[in-house]
Amino acid sequence: MAVNETVIALLRPKPDLAKLADDPPHVQAAAPAAVDTPPGIGTIASYWTEVPLPATGTWNAPGKGGAQADLVLTAPQDGVPLLFIEVDNCHETAEELAAKLEKYARFFRRTVKDTDGKERPMWRTRWMASEDRHGDVPHPSVLLVFNHVGERNPNRTIPRLQELTRHLWQGDRQREGHHLYDGKVPIVAVGLRNLREHGPAGPVFFRFGRDYPQPLLDAIGNPRREAADAREAEEGRKQQEEYRAQVREAAREQAAKKAVEAAREAARREARRPACASCGTRFTDERWEAAEETDWGRLIDTHPTLCDSCKHEAVAATHDVEKQEQPDTLPDWAQQKHLLRFTSRPRCTECKAAFTDERWKAVNRTGWDPLPQERHPTLCQTCTQEYDDSINNAWPDRRTHESPQEQPEPKLVPKPKSGGWFSRLRS
């Protein structure tokens, strides 16, 4: 009966007011108060009674040395992943209860090979519970519910039981003010009367090692550790935010430096940008790149000092001049360029005048011509005549205008008669 009352006190079912219409007035008056009370934990399917906890043997055939839990509660939706409940009617001594808690601890420490071949605590093969934090993996909590109907006084039993089981529940104090309960069994005590009156949300649960009552969730949990973790997370968040702010500031400074350097480089580049030699307009980037293109195997721009517009005008003017200076047709003999001295119409090196067809033909040597070559093939007819006149005026005796056929034959000098040594020497 005490176990059933414990389940009802933890479950705290709500009455259906519609079904209480035919009940006595005092029942109807108490029903709204029951409806307004804080909700309980889990559903009726969340509770198992008389569950064996084998320290040896198997689940179906437990061996000696194990315990048997009066109640096992699993309500993860309400914040209670796993809770073992032991109900005492105050007939057992503190030593007997301590021995029973030792069996609980022995069961919690037992490991078996799971279906995946790995060793795990035996209780984890039947119930699911979180691994908690690294370095702090306590065993499941045990709730002691005292129903004061026997001769033992819970107020004297609990302090003695607390001393006897200190090695099972006492945690390691940390510098931050909280405790770590790695491998420990959280033990919580409550009276059935207070449980019925206040429910699991009331501050009537005393955890061994704490001197103040708490709600059930706080008693089986570690609020100080959670508060310390929250502070650490907040400090970490602030540090991360400060670090991100420093990174953003450094990035802004770096971007500002890059912008200044880019502006300086752009200014230096603009100072080096060439201007058109004709109109003075600054080159565009494309025109500048084309004018500076001097890689091997690529042609250099024909007018590297002119912009695009002026270059087009200069090229057009050059084409016009070439078209004007180019003769319409060439003589037939000049089109046969084999063994010609000048394959295109030459110009006089003195006056720069273009040769006439007669002069061009005269200075060219077509084939194996036996005639003597022209004396001044790079001069036009007029400049050749002026050159010869100037030579004749400077040296009148020079007969450059005569041909070799018109010159008189040299007279033969008779040889002297031979005789004497002087004649032989002269000959």
Question: What distance in Å separates the CA atoms of residue 272 and residue 319, rounded to the nearest whole number?
Answer: 32
Same domain, 185 and 40: yes
Indicate if 143 and 47 belong to the same structural domain: yes
Query: Range of 195's domain?
Result: 2-221
Residue reference for tokens 């039981």: 161
In this structure, the answer to whether residues 27 and 111 fall within a common structural domain is yes
pLDDT digits (tens, 9 = 90+) for 26-55: 555 555 655 667 789 999 999 999 999 999
**Ramachandran quadrant class, 50 (left: phi over 0; alpha: psi -120 to 50; beta: rest):** left
423 lies in some domain: no
**Does 161 map to a domain?**
yes
Same domain, 267 and 201: no
- What's the Cα-to-Cα distance from 294 to each of 11, 154, 202, 298, 307, rounded to whole Å? 92, 103, 91, 7, 17
Quick one: pLDDT at residue 376? 80
- For 22, the 3-state DSSP assignment is coil
Task: Give the total number of structural domains in the chain.
Answer: 4
Let me know whether 261 and 277 are in one domain. no
Do residues 165 and 309 share a domain? no
419 within domain boundaries: no
Q: Is residue 401 part of a domain?
A: no
pLDDT over threshold 90, residue 382: no
Regarding whether 244 and 212 lie in a shared domain, the answer is: no
What 8-state DSSP symbol labels residue 46?
G
Q: Are 310 and 279 in contact (CB under 8 A)?
A: yes
Answering whether pTM is above 0.85, one says: no
Is 20 part of a structural domain of the chain? Answer: yes
* Average pLDDT of every residue of the chain: 82
Above 60 in pLDDT, residue 403?
no
pLDDT tens-digit profile of 261-295?
999 999 998 888 889 888 888 888 888 888 876 66
pLDDT at 405: 47
Query: Do residues 105 and 174 share a domain?
Result: yes
Q: Do 67 and 167 belong to one domain?
A: yes
The CA distance from 133 to 76, in Å, is: 17
Give domain status of residue 227, yes or no: no
| φ, ψ at 47 (rounded to 5°) | -115, 135
Whether 153 and 50 map to the same domain: the answer is yes
- Does 287 map to a domain? yes
For 132-187, write each residue's pLDDT tens digit: 566 678 899 999 999 999 899 999 999 999 999 999 999 888 887 788 888 899 99
What pLDDT, on a 0 to 100 scale, did the predictor assign at position 425? 45
